[in-house]
Chains A and B, each alone.
Chain A
Amino acid sequence: MNYFQEGIVWLNDPLNWTNPGGLLDRLVEHLVISFWAVLLGCLIGWPIGIWLGHRGRGGGAVVTVANLTLAIPTLALLTILPLTPLGFGKPPVVVALAVFAVPPLLANAYTGLRAVDPETRDAARGMGLSGGQLLRQVELPLAVPYLAAGLRTAAVQVVATAALAAFVNGGGLGQIISAGFGIGMSNGGGGQIVAGGIAVALLALLVEGILALVQRLVTPPALRPRRSRTASAAIPAG
């Protein structure tokens, strides 16, 4: 009756962790999918965001892209992409998750480069720095806090959304939950559902905590803003 206690019991059974397709397998799957999705997102979002921010134009386009992806249901991409030439398995899931990782990375990279003090930029130009040198030696170092904030938002969102891959049998911790629903609420599945929910929630909070620490470490004390997350707050997790 008490599903929460059943969930704790489920989590306390070592076999549920080490079985094939158990918690550990799914956790590794979850992290691997998330890693590739975030990497793909970085490879797309950062160069575009940095370039647009360096040139100082395209801000409207960045906002539009971020708002448009907000309206696309994850479930739609997860079900549509396997039917395209990408095929079934991990690739469509990674691409679908990367689509939702790009907006925070892009927007924060753009904001970070735009937030560089124009006087600093002028001074660098006055010292004879070329466009590329200005970007590498002045703008990028100053934008690191924003890039880190974007990475944190994107990574947390991808880890959270990766749970939805279970809808299309894409693996990950969400699979534990959907398998629980498959067993049925009253046949002992309730405990597994709760256990899966706890695992997914803890993982998301853990990733958030670790990346918050990383963000703090890579941000020089002088650049530590009081409201580092305001730029990224509006994008929801999965």
Chain B
Amino acid sequence: MPFLSWGPALLTPVAAPADDGPGNPWFSWRYVQENAEALGAALSFHAGLTAQTVLIALVVALPLAVVAYWIRPLTAPILALSGVLYTIPSLALLALLAPLVGTTSTTSVLIALVMYALLVLVRNALAGLTQVPAEVLEAAAGMGYGRLGRLWRVELPLALPGILTGVRLATVSTVALVTVGSLIGQGGLGDLILSGFRNNFFKAQIMTAALLCVGLALVLDLLLAGLGRLLTPWARGRVA
């Protein structure tokens, strides 16, 4: 581009012009091409954090759901506790965790995100487990399954649709929530959105990052839906 030769002042065009004219469009392929690397890095950070969150939350939520399912008196306290955690706003949770855990790593964001994903996962897994028909449980007992065997071979597979619904909801909402991490500069695509806003309202950057965010959520949702179809072949005829 010829403007590079105009002088040293224009060598680093850091800020987009703050007008509505053609200088600051809502979307520009040039922005995408020139910043493909940064966009890719933010996208993979975002996807990685989401995957970690959902995996950790699943590892915590499944045993909790099984405990709540086996020991009925514990059902209400477990749901109430995860409900309270869920009501606490993400920003507040981050503000309380960040000074404790440190603001330089993703740990505090990860902990906050896991707490949010927890309620959705526990609730859906529990709903899946409790809707296993009593006749099926009796038949399993009659076939000589013990408690663990029944859980592993009968109840968890039958609860799988419920669990997978929870995983899908948790994944989609986690993708959106990761952006809140930009409070401490650990928000993946959220960092791009916020820096675009602060950098003279760089519309192309805000829009591109937001679209990537929504796109990531939809792609992950579709992938998980496909995985669900593969894992529960018996439910295919019934699910619309």
Contact = CB atoms under 8 A, between A and B. Distances in A.
B10 to A, nearest CB: 24
A146 B184 CA distance: 38
Interface string B79-107: 00001101111111111101110010000
Nearest to A197: B95
B176 interface: yes
Contacts, number: 157
Interface in B196-214: 196-197, 201, 203, 206-207, 209-210, 213-214
Interface in A144-186: 156, 159-161, 163-164, 166-168, 174, 177-178, 180-181, 185
**What's the interface size class on B, roughly?**
35 or more
Contacts of B217: 70-71
A198 B96 contact: yes
A181 B159 CA distance: 44
Interface residues of A, number: 49
B196 A79 contact: yes
B40 to A, nearest CB: 18
A227 to B, nearest CB: 10
Given A234-B120, A238-B89, A75 B103 contact: no
30 contacts: A3-B100, A4-B100, A72-B210, A73-B175, A73-B189, A75-B187, A76-B206, A76-B213, A79-B193, A79-B196, A79-B210, A80-B206, A80-B210, A160-B90, A167-B182, A167-B194, A177-B183, A180-B95, A181-B183, A194-B95, A197-B92, A201-B96, A233-B120, A233-B123, A234-B120, A234-B124, A236-B176, A236-B177, A237-B89, A238-B90
A204 B189 CA distance: 27
Chain B contact residues, majority secondary structure: helix
Given A73-B193, A74-B176, A236 B86 contact: yes
Given A73-B190, A75-B193, A233-B120, A177 B84 contact: no
Contact of A237 (B87, B127, B210): B87
Nearest to B100: A3
Given A71-B218, A80-B210, A181-B184, 5 more contacts: A73-B189, A156-B87, A160-B88, A200-B89, A237-B116
Contacts of A4: 99-100
A185 B103 contact: yes
Interface string A207-238: 01000000000000000000001100111111
